[in-house]
Amino acid sequence: MNKEQKTILQLYAVFSAGILMNFIPSAVVQVFALCLLVVVLFAAYIYKAKAKLDSLMYNHTTYLIGTIWASSILLFIGMVIATFWVYEKGDHALIETIITGMNDGVMFTEKELAGIFSDYIHQNLTLLITATVSTLGPGLIYMVYRVSKGTARAMKGHRVAKPASWWS
């Protein structure tokens, strides 16, 4: 395996790590993961700019950049749909209680708000899971497919056919 292949595989690995870290329920970890994803995107653009048009590096960075942008768009659309779905179908009585209380001058403690939030999640859990899986699932499946395909091709030293296409 040559240096170029190793660099390509490192880009795929760091991108994959950034995606997986977003499933850890910690804001600090998720912010770090976002930073990793941005670094991978910038690195891919830099490596692509320095690579020869017919090189393995150019091919895979083009593919990875397309994967990042297409999956970001799919996930954004999924988040918007999930938000509207939960807004329309969710039981927001607890949220309305907080808003009414705040409008009446009630100051909730952090512990009280955490408890109310937990109750809200519990009341709407089935909806939240259904909305999340069905709206974000396609974007995540797309991303996993593309990264798996790119990694497998890079490990063998092969190029990806039509790297600029978002749907191949």
- Predicted local confidence at residue 166, as pLDDT: 86
Q: Work out the average pLDDT over 147-151.
A: 97
Convert the pLDDT of each residue in 38-91 to its tens digit: 999 999 999 999 999 999 999 999 999 999 999 999 999 999 999 999 999 999
CA distance 11 to 151: 9
Q: Is the pLDDT of residue 168 over 80?
A: no
Terminal Cα-to-Cα distance of the chain (whole angstroms): 26
Q: Per-residue b/e over 67-104, b at no fewer than 16 CB within 10 Å?
A: bbebbeebbeebeeebeebbeeeeeeebeeebeeeeee
The answer to which of 29-33, 93-97, 126-130, 150-154 has the lowest mean pLDDT is 93-97
pLDDT at 32: 98
What tens digit of pLDDT does each residue of 107-131 get?
999 999 999 999 999 999 999 999 9
Domain edges within the chain: 3-155
Average pLDDT over residues 137-143: 96
Give the CB-side neighbour count of residue 80, counting CA atoms within 13 A: 6
Averaged over 94-99, what is the pLDDT? 92
Average pLDDT value over all residues in the chain? 96
Q: How confident is the model at residue 1 (pLDDT cuts 50, 70, 90)?
A: confident
**Which residues fall within 8 angstroms of residue 41, CB to CB, at 6 or more apart?**
65, 68
